[in-house]
Amino acid sequence: MHRHGDYCLGDTVFHVTVAPMPPVFEKCRVNLEDGLRAYVLVPDRSLAAARQTSELLIPGAVAVESIESFVSQNIEEISFFERDKLSTDFYELLEIYNSRVNESELDKSMLIEIPKNLSRRVNRK
């Protein structure tokens, strides 16, 4: 089965990588040819290089963002800026991330230790 990227939401494909090499952007080119939008999410320390590579290979076609910034912004929005909901949603996100890394990656150093101050579940109304 052909996998468009690491995550697909609607018509948008997300490629998450610590090493933004040309093959990632070639996958993005295929995504674009398939009528999809493409995001490349990289650690902040790799952002400038990833943006430069993207502009060289497929100028103006791919959104390249830092993982840290993208995730934090979206968690805040999903949680409607409510502290309890933020804590619960962030915990659930980390559980999902760790589960996916555990299933698909050989490098377990990519797992995130979940802080003890995050709540597992909060009764939602």
Calpha distance 44→40 (Å, rounded): 12
Q: Per residue in 45-78, pLDDT tens? A: 999 999 999 999 999 999 999 988 898 888 777 7
Q: Per residue in 71-102, pLDDT tens? A: 888 877 776 666 677 777 778 888 888 898 88
Between residues 24 and 87, which one has the greater pLDDT?
24
Residue where the block lists tokens 């060289």: 56
pLDDT of residue 32: 97
pLDDT of residue 82: 65
Is residue 74 one of the residues assigned to a domain?
no
* Torsion angle (degrees, nearest 10) of CA 43, 49, 50, 51: 120
Domain boundary among 67, 98, 113: 67
- If one counts every other C-beta atom within 10 angstroms of the C-beta of residue 67, the result is 17
Is residue 19 one of the residues assigned to a domain?
yes
* Enclosing domain of residue 108: 79-125
Q: Are residues 54 and 83 in the same domain?
A: no
Number of separate domains in the chain:
2
Q: Are residues 60 and 2 in the same domain?
A: yes
Q: Are residues 87 and 43 in the same domain?
A: no
State percent of the chain over pLDDT 90: 45
Q: Are residues 3 and 31 in the same domain?
A: yes
